[in-house]
Amino acid sequence: MRSIVAAVAALVVAGGLAAVPAAAEPTTSCDDPSCVPGIQPGVVLGALCENTTYYVFGVTAFAPGGSDGPNRIVFCGSPRRYAPRWFRSPSLVGIKELGADCTPYLNMVAQAPDGLFLTCMAQNGRTVWVRGDT
């Protein structure tokens, strides 16, 4: 009798453990600027900016009569040794992972989940997301 109870208990425990679902990877993808957090609104192209490493993207304000219409994506970058400024951005393709393959996005930019500025570059025969601030 005890062995039957023990066997039933073991089956219940084993069945309960097997029923626990595995943690799934997030399926939500972000492949355009609309889902990128931290984009600074109202930026003026060429104006000084501060952070060239994390959350570097901005959107220009409408400039009447200018060629930079509303909603142009820009990034905060530092040309050589000069103070950082807002520049026109290459195509921003959402949230991507540092070091991941980026073959379809060569010469485009993205933001890592932690806000790091990324650019897609060909390196050592591969096309990967690398830091955009270097």
3-state secondary structure of 42: strand
pLDDT of residue 81: 83
Say if residue 51's pLDDT is above 50: yes
Sheet of 126-131, strands arranged across: 92-95, 109-111, 117-123, 126-131
pLDDT tens readout for residues 115-124:
999 999 999 9
Which residues, in sequence order, are bridge partners of residue 117? Answer: 111
Contacts for 125 with CB less than 8 Å, ≥ 6 apart: none
Mean pLDDT of 62-73: 65
Which residues, in sequence order, are bridge partners of residue 87? Answer: 75
pLDDT tens readout for residues 69-121:
567 999 999 988 899 999 999 999 999 999 999 999 999 999 999 999 999 99
Say if residue 3's pLDDT is above 50: no
End-to-end C-alpha distance for the chain, whole angstroms? 72
The better pLDDT of the pair 68, 8 is held by 68
Backbone dihedral angles phi then psi of residue 75, each to the nearest 5 degrees: -135, 155
Q: What is the pTM of this model?
A: 0.74
Amino acid identity for residue 34 in this structure: S
pLDDT of residue 130: 98
